[in-house]
Amino acid sequence: MVLQSSTTRRPHSLILGLLVVASTWFPTHAAAADAKAFKANSKICARIGKALGHGPGVPSSLYVDSIDGEGRQSIYQGIDVDGDGAADSVKQDCGSPSYGMCSLYIGLSKGGGYEFEEEVFSLIRYRSRYYVVVGDTYPEKKIHRRLYVLSARGVDRVCKSF
């Protein structure tokens, strides 16, 4: 009877073991999608990094122009973050220089919006999308740069170091 009990349990543990091994051998759909997104992001990071890597004092055509607001506020006009064809309200406020942080306020044309806060950053446009570059834009300091993409849903990190 003990022999029957161990043989009836054995197939279950064998099947469970095979399922665990199979799950590590065959990537899931989500893992494949993550790999594809990582590859796409890597290309964007490399392209934007190359475009920004002109060196100190050389402006890049990627930077979005702004007008001065009140205090240390910058106002970006004619920016369509959500892609609906209507301009969204986009303002950057860096507050006190000693604080070292800036906020980006996005008011979407269809209603709603969000706020993004990070170290001092620049707003750029690349292939009809808007990005936030955080950190130094000098080529020799590129390891400290981060890149975020703006969308109707919010802000997503694209590169944590480029």
pLDDT at 86 over 70: yes
- The predicted model gives 118-143 an average pLDDT of 79
Rounded distance, CA 158 to CA 106, Å?
18
Rounded distance, CA 106 to CA 88, Å?
7
Instruction: Please say whether the beta carbons of 134 and 116 come within 8 A.
Output: no
pLDDT at 90 over 70: yes
Q: pLDDT class for 13, splitting at 50, 70, 90?
A: very low
Rounded distance, CA 146 to CA 162, Å?
6
E strands, the chain, where? Answer: 67-68, 73-79, 88-93, 101-107, 113-119, 121-126, 129-134, 146-150, 155-159
pLDDT at 10: 44
Grouping H, G, I as helix, E, B as strand and the rest as coil, residue 27 is coil
Average pLDDT value for the chain: 75
Spans of all domains in the chain: 30-159
Instruction: Please say whether the beta carbons of 149 and 131 come within 8 A.
Output: yes
pLDDT at 149 over 90: yes
pLDDT at 152 over 90: yes
Q: What H or E segment, with its residue span, contains residue 50?
A: helix 29-52
Q: What is the pLDDT of residues 54-65, one digit of tens each?
A: 555 545 788 899
pLDDT at 144 over 60: yes
User: Bigger pLDDT: 71 or 138?
Assistant: 71
- The predicted model gives 28-44 an average pLDDT of 55
How far is the CA of 133 from the CAs of 15, 47, 104, in angstroms? 50, 13, 12
- The predicted model gives 1-20 an average pLDDT of 41
Instruction: Please say whether the beta carbons of 106 and 82 come within 8 A.
Output: no
Q: Name the percent of the chain lying above pLDDT 70.
A: 65
| Residue environment code for 8-28, b if the CB has 16+ CB neighbours within 10 A, otherwise e | eeeeeeeeeeeeeeeeeeeee
